Amino acid sequence: MKKIDIACIIDDDPIFVFGTKRIMELANFCENFTVFPNGEEAINHLKPIMEAGGPSIPDVILLDLNMPIMDGWQFLDEFTSIPTKKKIIIYIVTSSINPEDMEKAKKYDSISNYLVKPISVEDLKDILENM
């Protein structure tokens, strides 16, 4: 199974981020990853790279919904308005089991799936298989 080049984790929970990076290593998921504690920092970093068509655009984004400053929904609204030629796969990875969140996620074409934390090696392998 081929691993992806760059994965991006957007989540404010340092324990989740630490565990997910470790699981990514165990699953041989990606070459590199970037981490942002909220949607605003992610947008501020990713927008200029995407507009320039740079090589460090992530292939996959694992996005939490509940974060300070800019939450996952606000990030999605801004992120999906940025023009890019590269297909970026977005997975919601959240502790929210709220059916309204799950339904709202279906309205975004850019979201590939909605995963409830914690994420597993099997989840990452499924992502790789579906790419």
Domain regions of the chain by residue span: 4-130
Q: Read off the tokens for 92.
A: 């919601």
Asked if 119 and 17 touch (Cβ cutoff 8 Å), the reply is no
User: What CATH class is the domain 4-130?
Assistant: alpha beta
pLDDT at 17: 94
What are phi and psi for residue 38, nearest 5 degrees?
-160, 165
Q: pLDDT tens digit string along 26-49?
A: 888 999 999 999 999 999 999 998
Please identify which residue in the block is written with the tokens 């996620």. Answer: 105
Question: What percent of the chain is predicted at pLDDT more than 90?
Answer: 53
59: closest CA among 91, 105, 16, 104? 91
pLDDT at 1: 60
Asked if 9 and 33 touch (Cβ cutoff 8 Å), the reply is yes
Whole-model pTM over 0.85:
yes
